[in-house]
Amino acid sequence: MALKATIFKAQLAVSDLDRHLFATHALTLARHPSETDERMMVRILAFAIHADERLAFGRGLSAEDEADLALTDLTGAIDLWIDVGLPDERAIRKACGRARRVAVYAYGTGADAWWRQNGEALGRLANLSVARFDPESTRACARLAARNMDLSCTIQEGHLWLACGDESLAFAPEILKSSGA
């Protein structure tokens, strides 16, 4: 019998001072049995960075041909495709053909090697942006994971502060490639 996804709920208050956006989002995440807390929390960080009422989580690791998060317009066209982790370069090229904008949030100890291997090819994709979270920050973020979370995220000048209860973490994703879109 196949293992089922574990459901996580998060109240995420976003204060994005760069976009003048202040909103609270009730998030429901289905964590695939092979997904780590670290990856799930990076998905939440990506949501906070691009927070929008139309931004939705994909089916996750069980759907290879689907974004981890996607923002669609009112016609159903994909405005923003977001992947987290170290996606295959061909999958990113395909996503760039399907969406107006694509964002990748790389994390983990292999992120630098992944970028060295794929950076040149990905650099030619005009509608792609790539950022990297350092491993210590994302591991610390994974310790905040719980079935029910009350999170607040403040974003200013590209820096993120994530708070949960008494704990607060600071993130400064390194921009590896900016989108021209």
DSSP 2-40: PPPPEEEEEEEEEEETTTTEEEEEEEEEEE-TT--HHHH
Distance separating alpha carbons of residues 64 and 84, to the nearest angstrom: 12
Residue type, 170: A
Q: Please state, as a whole number, how many other Cβ atoms lie within 10 Å of the Cβ of residue 113.
A: 11
Residue among 134, 135, 123 nearest 177 (CA): 123
Q: Which CATH class is domain 6-177?
A: alpha beta
What is the tens place of the pLDDT at every residue in 145-176?
A: 999 999 999 999 999 999 999 999 999 999 99
Sequence spans of domains, the chain: 6-177
What is the tens place of the pLDDT at every residue in 82-99?
A: 999 999 999 999 999 999
- Output the pTM of the full model: 0.94
Q: 48: which residues sit within 8 A by CB, 6+ positions away? A: 12, 14, 16, 153, 155, 160, 162
Report pLDDT for 68.
95
More confident position, 4 or 151: 151
Distance separating alpha carbons of residues 32 and 174, to the nearest angstrom: 27
What is the tens place of the pLDDT at every residue in 23-72?
A: 999 999 999 888 999 999 999 999 999 999 999 998 765 556 789 999 99
Residue 118 zone, left/alpha/beta (φ > 0; ψ -120 to 50; rest): alpha
Pairing of strands 167-171, 174-177: unpaired
Are 105 and 83 a contacting pair, CB within 8 Å? yes
Residue among 145, 140, 137 nearest 37 (CA): 145
